[in-house]
A and B are shown apart, each in its own frame.
Chain A
Amino acid sequence: MQNSNRFHYGVVYGIFAILLLPLLSTALYSLATRWGATILPDGLTFDWYIQLWSDPRFLLAFGQSILICLGALALGTLLIVPTIFVVFYYFPRLKWVMNLLILLPFAVPPVVSSVGLLQIYADDPFPIVGTPWILIFTYFTIALPFMYRAIANSMHALNLPDLMDAAHLLGASTWQAFLLVVLPNIRKGLIVSLFLSFSFLFSEFVFANILVGTRYETLQVYLFNMRHTSGHFTSALVISYFMFVLIFTWIANRLNK
C-alpha cells in the first residue's frame, strides 16, 4: 500500500517536474544577468523585465492583443447566446445541426482557412485584410466551439421548457424570462468559457501572422519578431505572457467550481 502510493506520487510529480523544468529554466534565464558556461547564472536581475515593460512596442502589442480578444469574445457572445437560446427553446431538434456546425472551425487547419479568409476579406464588400477587424472576425469563429459547448452544457442542466412555461404563467414575457431566468443560470458557463477562450485566443499566432502580420502587431507576432534579440529579453516576454494566461485560466477554474 505504502509502496504503491509512493510510486504513484513519484510518477505524477516526475511528469510534473519534466513539464515544469523548461518553464523554470526560462524563468531563471529571464532573471539572469548572464548565463553562459556555468551551471547557475552569474547574477540575478529584473533588468530584462524593466526593459520589456518599458518598451512602447511591447505595450502596444499587449494592448492590441487584449483589444482583439475582447472584440472577438464580445461578438461571439452576442451571436452565440441568443442562438443557443433559440435552438434549445424553439428548435431543440436542430441541436445536432449546431453540434456539427460548431465543429467546423476545428476541422479546418488555420493555415488552410487563412487562405480562404484572405480571399474573402481582400476585396469588397469587406476589404479588411491587414486591419484588426479581420482578426476579430476570425477569432470569434475559433472561440465559438468553446463557448457553445460551455453554454450548451449550462443550458442542458436547466429544465428550459418548464422554466419558460412557469415564467410565462407568472406574467413574464419571453424576453423577460430570458433576461431574468435563463441568462442568470447560464452566466457561470458563459464566464468560464469567456476566460478560457481569452487565454486561448491570446496565444494565437498563425492567423495573426498570416492575416495581419506587423500591420497590427499582436503579442505573439511581437514575440516572433523579437526572436533575434537577447534570449533573456524574450524569456522575460514569455514568462510575462505565461503568467498573464495562467492567472486567467486560474480564474476560469475558480469560477467553474
Chain B
Amino acid sequence: MSYVEVTNLAKRFDSTPVFKEINFTINKGEFITLLGPSGCGKSTLLRCIAGLNSVDNGSILVDGEDITSLPAQRRGIAMVFQSYALFPNMTVTDNIAFGLKMQKLSSDEIQRRVREGIEMVELNGREDHYPHQLSGGQRQRVALARSLVMQPRILLLDEPLSALDAKIRKNLREQIRLIQQELNLTTIFVTHDQEEALTMSDRIFLMNSGQIVQSGSAEEIYTEPADAFVASFIGNYNLLQAEQARAMLGLDTQLKVAIRPESILISSLSPVDTRSHYSQPISGTVKSSMLLGNVIRYRMDTDNGELVVDLLNRSSERLVSRGTQLELQVNMDEVREVA
C-alpha cells in the first residue's frame, strides 16, 4: 500500500482554480519533485499537504490516516521554506529545539535530538549563533535540521535552494539527498529548476496550469515527454510543427515532433553510429555557437527552421565558426511525436 495517497484534490482562490483533480501516490522513503513553471500551483499544492492552506475537495491520506482536515500542528509534516523562516530571536540550538519543546519532550531527549540534528547538517560549532550571523547555506541547513529533528512522516521542501548561490546550491542539493536516503524519509520537493529535479528525484511530477501533466522517473520525463509543454520545459528540445517535421525528416505525422539537441549529429564532424537509424542529411548554416563547458551548443539555420544541436566538447578544433555550412543527421530512434 502507498504511504501517501492524494485523491481528487482541488483548490480554488475565489473562483479561479489553482489546481484540480490532483491524484498521486507516494511510497515510503520516496523523493518526489513537483516541477513546473511559477504559477502552476505546485507551491499551493505543497501548502495544502502541509495543512497551511485548506482544500476545497479531495482527500490526503498518510499511512492510512486521513489528514485532510487536520490542523498543520497535528499532521506530523515538516517543511523547509525558501525564506528559511528561522526565528531571528533564537540561536541555532533554540531554533532546532523549538518544535521539540512544543511537543513537551524531556530536556534530555531534546538535547540529544538537537545534537544529532546539528551533526547531521554539519553545523557543529555554530550552536550559539543567531540566524543573522550565518550564511544563506548555513541558515537553510538550520531550517533543515529543525525539520529533521521532528522525525516527520513527510518532509516538504518549498524551493529551499532558490535563494542560494550556485556552488552552495549544488552542495546542499547533494547533502539533502544523502540525508533523505539515510533516513528513508518520504520527501516532496518543489522547484522550478529542471536540473534540481532531474538530479535529486526518484520520481518527478511535472505540473502545468494546476494539473500534473506527466509523472515518472527523471529518465522517463527526459526521454519520453508526454506533450509539447513537457518537451519545451524539460531539456532544450527542438520542437517542430507537423509540417516542418514532414519536410525536414520525411516523417508521416500529424503531431508536433520533439528532438533532443544531443540526438542530432553533425555528420561532417562525427562518424554516424551505424546501430542507430538516421535521417537523410539536412544542410544547415551555423547561426551561433555557445560553449557550455563539456558541451558546445550550435544554433543552426535550415530550410525548414532553426535547430539546436549539442555536441560533446572533445577538442577545440571542432568549434565551427559562424556562417559555416554543415550537414546534420537526426537519430530517428530518439525523435518523439508529442501532442
> Which residues does A use to contact B, with CB under 8 Å?
158-159, 162-163, 165-173, 176, 180-181, 184-185
CB distance from A161 to the nearest CB of B (A): 9
Q: Which B residues touch A165, using CB under 8 A?
A: 47, 50, 52, 72, 79, 81, 85
Interface residues of B in 123-156 (CB under 8 A from A): 143, 146, 150
Contact B88 A171 (CB under 8 A): no
Is B324's beta carbon under 8 Å from chain A? no
Name the contact of A169 in the complex, choosing from B72, B88, B103 (C-beta under 8 A). B72
Query: Apart from A165-B85, A171-B102, what are 15 other A-B pairs with CB-CB below 8 Å?
Result: A162-B83, A163-B85, A165-B47, A165-B50, A165-B81, A166-B79, A166-B85, A168-B73, A169-B77, A169-B78, A169-B99, A170-B98, A170-B150, A172-B102, A180-B98
A162 adjacent to B81 (CB under 8 Å):
yes
If A165-B52, A168-B52, A173-B73 touch, whether A159 touches B85 (CB-CB below 8 Å) is yes
Which chain A positions have C-beta within 8 A of B98? 167, 170, 172, 180
> Does the CB pair A184–B50 fall under 8 Å?
no
A169 contacts B52, CB within 8 Å?
A: yes
* B79, B81, B85 pick with most chain A CB within 10 angstroms: B85
Decide if A163 touches B52 in the complex (CB within 8 Å): no
A29 to B47, CA, bound (A): 69
Complex CA distance for A7 and B86, rounded to whole angstroms: 49
- Chain B contacts of A173 at CB under 8 A? 73
**Residues 50-83 of B contacting A (Cβ, < 8 Å):** 50-52, 71-73, 77-79, 81, 83
How far in angstroms is the closest Cβ of chain A from B292?
Answer: 35
Between A and B, 29 residue pairs with Cβ closer than 8 Å are A159-B83, A159-B85, A162-B85, A165-B50, A165-B52, A165-B79, A165-B85, A166-B79, A166-B85, A166-B143, A167-B98, A168-B52, A168-B72, A169-B51, A169-B73, A169-B77, A170-B102, A170-B150, A171-B73, A171-B99, A171-B150, A172-B73, A173-B73, A180-B87, A181-B87, A181-B89, A184-B89, A185-B87, A185-B88
Residues of A close to B89: CB separation below 8 A: 181, 184-185
Smallest beta-carbon distance A120→chain B, Å: 41
For B, the interface residue count at a CB cutoff of 8 angstroms equals 24
Report whether A170 and B81 are in contact in the complex, using a CB–CB cutoff of 8 Å: no
Would B103 and A171 count as touching, CB distance under 8 A? yes
Partner among A158, A167, A168, A172 whose Cβ is within 8 Å of the Cβ of B88: A158
Closest residue on chain A to residue B77 by CB atoms: A169
Alpha-carbon separation in the docked complex, A166 to B72 (Å): 10
Q: What chain A residues lie within 8 Å of B143 (beta carbons)?
A: 166
A-side contacts of B102, CB under 8 Å: 170-172, 176
Report the bound CA distance from A173 to B47 in whole Å: 17
Residues in chain B near residue A169, CB distance under 8 A: 50-52, 72-73, 77-79, 99
Pairwise interchain contact B88-A170, C-beta atoms closer than 8 A: no
Chain B residues with Cβ under 8 A from A181's Cβ?
Answer: 87, 89
Chain B residues with CB under 8 A of A159: 83, 85
List, in ascending order, chain B residues with CB within 8 A of A167's CB. Answer: 87, 98
Instruction: Give Cα A166 to B77, complex, Å.
Output: 11
* Inter-chain contact B73/A163, CB cutoff 8 Å: no
Complex alpha-carbon distance, A34 and B72, angstroms: 75
CB neighbours (8 Å) of A185 from chain B are 87-89
Measured CA separation A162–B72 after assembly (Å): 13
